[in-house]
Amino acid sequence: MSTLGKFASLCGLREPVAKDRMHWTNEMARLEAMPRYESTETDLLGQSLRLVDAASFLSAYRQIFDERSYDFRSTSGNPLILDCGANIGLGLIYWKQVYPLARIIAFEPDPDVFQALAWNCNYRNFAGIELVNKAVWTSPGDLPFHAEGADAGRLDYETIDGDGGSPSIQVPAVRLRDYLNEPIDLLKLDIEGAESEVLRDCQDHLHNVRHLFVEYHSFAGREQQLDEIFFILKKNGFRVHVKSELVSPSPFTERLSYLGMDNSLNMFAYRD
């Protein structure tokens, strides 16, 4: 079944007819041909959706709606989901189709991306969603942030560490630990390199989390901390499944990189 057919089935819609499939194919081609970091709108999800970057949208669209990477099972009809790094809201749209009564707290620090997120949620009249235009970190306050313009905005670690770095904007931050004082059905962490520090700060509250998605990033020239993340997850009773997002066919001789990242892994932590 095509991505359109899978999404229609997920939403309880009719199977798309040929005219819909032609529109889907043409719209995919239009988005694939667009230059990076150019905003647009699309109706691929049935209703209008604001995008800040077509390429990052298509990547997330395939991951979330085709591969259904954010799918999870809950014994509750109104699970609590924390979406850290919500971007334009594709994860929220998916979860609201599966669990219409879900309560979702979504964090997105990039001010321009957040505007698209807020528009997409308000346009759909979602209830039970709290949108937070802040980064998640180990303490509240204002932090330097590199706004990449799509899905790779991140805290400016060089400036935080006092090592200089490229010019940044300032964004407010919250301490994620403060949100983990009740049972969480799904915690998603896609925070572009801040995951190890945040998990270290939250580790004694992770017993409240049933499903944990972590997008791990390592940056060339900075110490890798994958071992620490595995240790924290194991200590908290999680089993882990790992999928590589940045695959280098011959890593001994040629390592792929993207925006300074030399490794990117999707980590699915769950409890038996």
Q: Mind listing the pLDDT tens digit for each residue in 211-225?
A: 999 999 888 888 889
> Does the pLDDT at position 16 exceed 60?
no
In whole angstroms, give the CA distance from residue 219 to residue 161. 14
Q: Mind listing the pLDDT tens digit for each residue in 75-119?
A: 899 999 999 999 999 999 999 999 999 999 999 999 999 999 999
Average per-residue pLDDT in the chain? 89
Residues of the chain with CATH 3.40.50.150: 77-270
pLDDT of residue 4: 47
> 77-270: which CATH topology?
Rossmann fold (3.40.50)
Q: Is the separation of the CB atoms in 13 and 46 below 8 Å?
A: yes
